[in-house]
């Protein structure tokens, strides 16, 4: 007879091993391997009896219906979700502590309860008093409003589901999935088994009716949603709220969406009365820019399908050390090291004795190489103590031999720059037949870094 086998499973990533290990070979975490009793294996190849075949459907027989969506009055959130909340879907919202997840979802709960009907907000982290204080601070429940927003401080899943049965809400918010625990599994809250079980049960409940579920997920120091990657597989949509806690801007990013495009981004600003949508992020990110300051350059990033203008600031100062410092803020260190080397070797910029600091204004994190040229020109501008023209944007990726490479969606970037009021753009030399630049914007096409620095020196003299 087949016996059940004891194996070990990582509570962080779910990797199974036949032996107890101190460190998980998959995710590298220490002391995360837990005993796991696998079900006895079935003998393959044996004819199985008493099993009815499931009925498959022909594609043509399935009615083509667009996903029905619940309209969300918060435009930026609605866009990131692909145009609203899909009934019966499960959405995961991840983010660092204190970034504003509870604030955003409380605002959403308030807005939806006013338009759609019952919303149940369950918190396992805060007391009813704290929840209601936050809600009132956000302007909900004032004027004796009768909006059906219900709050519940509870962690036990079965009780939460019983409340859902009783209230029958349109939207259920669980803040957070790491605090929920079910009696069906015998492990502590936050462990992989618990999270998987709770998310699975909530998923089942969502799919059974038209209940939309929003889960809050904590993020580990490495930046992924704590515990289980498996959670990302179970849910329909994964959103991340990110930003620098000391800055006011917050970016809401979708990394998985079964009902829409991913890599959509919504921009918010944290204010005394909660998260406020930023309708024109490019202008917001540039609002504190000092004109004619050396070491400042404007890059045009693409966040999803959306162009975004940001200011890059660089400062170079004579180093007191034999190994000068390179300090990026909002930029990858290795990228900065590479750019410094390219500037040094290909454009003879004397950076070897200089400490280098680069800052992305507004707390944004740059992930794409299209900001290379802006970073390099900000550094050149700082070391020559000569400001770049204030009506100029810099777009382009730098290669190791100092060549300027083209970037995706150049037309969208240029249109945004023109719309915000910029007049000139340094761009990589384009192939013949490119679209003409938008009205009011002239292009300075350059082949390499030297050309870009020469163009900048010529235009500001
Ligand atoms: P919170 O939503 O509790 O973060 P999370 O749930 O992601 O841990 O909010 C965190 C911060 O936001 C908190 O430090 C206070 C600030 N905040 C405001 O600035 N304005 C507001 O209106 C609210 C509700 C919070
Ligand atoms: Mg919270």
Q: How far is the CA of 38 from the centre of ligand 1 (A)?
A: 42
| pLDDT tens for each residue of 155-196 | 999 999 999 999 999 999 999 898 999 988 887 887 778 888
Pairwise CA distance, residues 375 & 158, whole Å? 53
pTM of the model: 0.80
**pLDDT in the model for residue 39:** 60
CA–CA separation, 36 vs 14, rounded Å?
A: 10
Our answer on whether the CB atom of 94 is closer than 6 Å to any ligand 1 atom is no
Contact 408, 427 (CB under 8 A): no
Instruction: Identify the residue with better confidence: 291 or 102.
Output: 102
Q: How far is the C-alpha of 321 from the C-alpha of 316, rounded, in Å? A: 14
**34-58 CB burial, b ≥16 within 10 A, e <16:** eebeeeeeeeeeeeeeeeeeeeeee
Q: Phi/psi at 256 (nearest 5 deg)?
A: -150, 135
The mean pLDDT of 41-64, rounded to a whole number, is 74
Domain 68-279: give its CATH superfamily: P-loop containing nucleotide triphosphate hydrolases (3.40.50.300)
Which whole number is the average pLDDT over 307-330? 93
Cβ of 246 less than 6 Å from ligand 1 = no
Band of residue 305 on the pLDDT scale cut at 50, 70, 90: confident
Q: What is the pLDDT of residues 196-214, one digit of tens each?
A: 889 999 999 998 888 999 9
Lowest mean pLDDT among 30-39, 150-159, 414-423: 30-39
pLDDT, residue 237, reads 93
Ligand 1 pocket check for 101: Cβ under 6 Å: yes
Domain boundaries, the chain: 5-38, 68-279, 283-460
pLDDT surpassing 60 at residue 46: no
Distance, in Å, from the CA atom of 296 to the CA atom of 313, rounded to the nearest integer, reads: 5
Q: Give the residue-averaged pLDDT of 261-286.
A: 87
**Would you say the CB of residue 176 lies under 6 angstroms from ligand 1?**
no
> Per-residue pLDDT for 1 more than 60?
no
Q: Is the CB of 179 under 6 A from ligand 1?
A: no
**What is the atom index within ligand 1 of the atom nearest the CA of 241?**
7
Per-residue confidence band for 63, with pLDDT thresholds at 50, 70 and 90: confident
Q: With a 6 A CB cut-off, is 137 part of the ligand 1 pocket? A: yes
CA of 364 to the centre of ligand 1 (A): 19
Q: Note the pLDDT of residue 384.
A: 92
Residue 413: band (very low, low, confident or very high) from pLDDT cuts 50, 70, 90: very high
pLDDT greater than 90 at residue 435: no
Nearest protein Cα to ligand 1, atom 10: 98
Mean pLDDT of 43-72: 77
Are the C-beta atoms of 254 and 245 separated by less than 8 Å? no
Q: How confident is the model at residue 270 (pLDDT cuts 50, 70, 90)?
A: very high
Terminal C-alpha separation, the chain:
87
Distance 103 CA to ligand 1 centre (A): 6
28 band by pLDDT with thresholds 50, 70 and 90: confident
pLDDT, tens only, 116-146: 889 999 999 999 999 999 998 898 876 556 7
E strand or H helix that includes residue 268 = strand 265-271
Atom 15, ligand 1: which residue's CA is nearest? Answer: 98
Angle between helices 157-167 and 192-208 (to 10 degrees): 10
For all residues of the chain together, what is the average pLDDT?
87
pLDDT band, residue 327 (cuts 50/70/90): very high
Nearest to 243 by CA among 222, 219, 267: 267
- Ligand 1, atom 8, lies closest to the CA of 98
Q: What is the mean pLDDT of residues 326-348?
A: 95
Report the separation in Å between the CA atom of 127 and the middle of ligand 1, taken as the mean of its atom positions.
Answer: 15
CB distance 272 to ligand 1 below 6 Å: yes
Which residues have C-beta within 8 Å of that of residue 458, sequence separation ≥ 6? none
- pLDDT at residue number 4: 61
pLDDT digits (tens, 9 = 90+) for 212-254: 999 998 876 665 555 546 788 889 999 999 888 788 889 998 8
**Can you tell me which atom of ligand 1 is nearest the CA of 97?**
8
101 alpha carbon – ligand 1 mean position (Å) = 8
For residue 134, the ligand 1 atom closest to its alpha carbon is 24
Q: What is the pLDDT of residue 395?
A: 96
| 136 CB near ligand 1 (under 6 Å) | no
Q: Does domain 283-460 have CATH number 3.30.1330.10?
A: no
pLDDT of 281 reads: 87
Which residue's CA lies nearest to atom 21 of ligand 1? 274
CA-wise closest residue to 325 among 352, 343, 294, 360: 352
């Amino acid at each position: 007879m087949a016996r059940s086998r004891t194996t070990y499973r990582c509570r962080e990533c779910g990797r199974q091993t036949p032996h107890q290990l101190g460190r998980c070979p998959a995710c590298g975490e220490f002391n995360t391997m837990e005993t796991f009793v696998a079900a006895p294996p079935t003998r393959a190849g044996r004819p199985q009896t008493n099993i009815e075949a499931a009925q498959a459907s022909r594609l043509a027989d399935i009615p083509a219906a667009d996903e029905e969506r619940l309209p969300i009055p918060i435009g930026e959130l609605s866009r990131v979700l692909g145009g609203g909340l899909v009934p019966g879907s499960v959405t995961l919202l991840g983010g660092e502590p204190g970034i504003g997840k509870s604030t955003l979802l409380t605002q959403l709960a308030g807005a939806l309860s006013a338009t759609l009907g019952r919303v149940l907000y369950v918190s396992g982290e805060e007391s009813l008093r704290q929840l209601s204080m936050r809600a009132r601070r956000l302007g909900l429940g004032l004027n004796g409003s009768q909006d059906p927003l219900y709050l519940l401080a509870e962690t036990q899943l079965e009780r939460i589901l019983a409340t859902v049965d009783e209230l029958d809400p349109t939207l259920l918010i669980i803040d957070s999935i790491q605090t929920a625990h079910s009696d069906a599994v015998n492990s502590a809250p936050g462990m992989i088994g618990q999270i998987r079980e709770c998310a699975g049960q909530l998923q089942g409940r969502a799919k059974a009716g038209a209940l939309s579920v929003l889960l809050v997920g904590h993020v580990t120091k490495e930046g992924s949603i704590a515990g289980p990657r498996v959670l990302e597989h179970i849910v329909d949509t994964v959103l991340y709220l990110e930003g620098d806690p000391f800055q006011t801007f917050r970016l809401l990013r979708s990394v998985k969406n079964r009902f829409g495009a991913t890599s959509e981004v919504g921009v918010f600003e944290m204010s005394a009365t909660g998260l406020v949508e930023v309708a024109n992020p490019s202008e917001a990110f540039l609002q504190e820019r000092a004109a004619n300051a050396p070491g400042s350059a404007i890059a045009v990033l693409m966040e999803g399908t959306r162009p975004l203008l940001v200011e890059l600031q660089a400062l170079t100062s004579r180093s007191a050390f034999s190994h000068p410092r390179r300090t990026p803020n909002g930029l990858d260190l290795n990228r900065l090291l590479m750019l410094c080397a390219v500037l040094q070797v290909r454009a003879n910029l004397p950076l070897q004795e200089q400490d280098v600091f680069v800052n992305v204004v507004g707390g944004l994190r740059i992930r794409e190489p299209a900001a290379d040229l802006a970073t390099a020109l900000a550094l050149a501008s700082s070391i020559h103590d000569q400001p770049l023209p204030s009506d100029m944007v810099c777009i382009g990726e730098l290669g190791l031999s100092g060549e300027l490479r083209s970037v995706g969606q150049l037309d969208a970037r240029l249109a945004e720059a023109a719309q915000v009021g910029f007049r000139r753009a340094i761009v990589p030399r384009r192939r013949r037949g490119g679209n003409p630049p938008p009205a009011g914007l002239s292009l300075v096409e350059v082949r390499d870094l030297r050309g870009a620095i020469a163009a900048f020196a010529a235009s500001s003299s």
